[in-house]
């Protein structure tokens, strides 16, 4: 379950919130996003939590869609997870896959496009690329929220975007960046 709701910003009837919690425990979301590897197999961090909770059927389903490239997103069933779908994104490895910001933004856009194509209302994201892939968290948060706020203006089915952060410091940083970017965005 979600531990704490920190902040929410609304654009065009779409709410974007940051919470502290585990991406594999978001039962009120239609889809959760996986910080995947190219082969769409289990791993550490988010991918480990999602594949453990979903079970081996997720790995089997994903094998047919692999490999994917940085910036790409694909969708699968959720199997043992309490959601309808998993959207798998391959974020850029910082300092290796470039241009990083464009590839990271593409992940968020492509994930939302898949959610729209499946008429989903609520989608939860982890902070893609900020763990094993080494993207500095503040920089990644700016890319993520700029992309989500811009895309929120044209979303038709998605109404609720949740950003799930693993610990209190990450939540605090994301809350700050979301409010800052939402303020900039209001000023334009």
CA 23/CA 32 separation, integer angstroms: 7
**Which tokens sit at 1?**
């379950």
Taking the complex as a whole, how short is the minimal distance between the CB of residue 144 and ligand AR6, in angstroms?
Answer: 11
Position 172 contacts ligand AR6 (CB under 6 A): no
Beta bridge partners of 74: 88
CA 79/CA 59 separation, integer angstroms: 10
- Is residue 127 within 8 A of residue 96, CB to CB? The reply is no
- Of 22 and 185, nearer to ligand AR6 (C-beta) is 22
Choose one: 7-15, 18-26, 65-73, 152-160; the region binding ligand AR6 (CB under 6 A).
18-26
CA 73/CA 113 separation, integer angstroms: 9
x/- track of binding to ligand AR6 for residues 71-110 (CB under 6 A): --------------------x-------------------
CA 131/CA 92 separation, integer angstroms: 11
- Is residue 95 within 8 A of residue 139, CB to CB? The reply is no
- Among residues 31, 68, 86, 127, which is the contact residue for ligand AR6, using CB under 6 A? 127
- Among residues 31, 37, 73, 120, which is the contact residue for ligand AR6, using CB under 6 A? 37
Residues lying near ligand AR6 in the complex (CB under 6 A) are found at 22-24, 35, 37, 43-47, 49, 91, 126-133, 164, 166, 170
């Amino acid at each position: 379950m979600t531990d704490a709701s920190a902040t929410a910003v609304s654009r065009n009837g779409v709410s974007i919130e940051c919470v502290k919690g585990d991406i594999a425990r978001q039962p009120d979301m239609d889809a959760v996003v996986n910080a995947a590897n190219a082969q769409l197999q289990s791993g550490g961090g988010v991918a480990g939590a999602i594949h453990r909770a979903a079970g081996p059927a997720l790995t089997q389903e994903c094998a047919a869609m692999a490999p994917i490239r940085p910036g790409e997103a694909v969708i699968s069933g959720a199997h043992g997870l309490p959601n309808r779908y998993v959207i798998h994104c391959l974020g850029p490895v910082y300092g290796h896959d470039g241009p990083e910001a464009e590839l990271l933004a593409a992940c968020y856009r492509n994930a939302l496009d898949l959610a729209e194509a499946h008429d989903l209302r609520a989608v939860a994201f982890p902070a893609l690329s900020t763990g094993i892939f080494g993207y500095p968290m503040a920089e990644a948060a700016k890319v993520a929220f700029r992309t989500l706020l811009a895309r929120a203006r044209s979303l038709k089915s998605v109404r609720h975007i949740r950003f799930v952060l693993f610990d209190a410091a990450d939540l605090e940083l994301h809350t700050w960046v979301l409010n800052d970017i939402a303020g900039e965005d209001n000023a334009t």
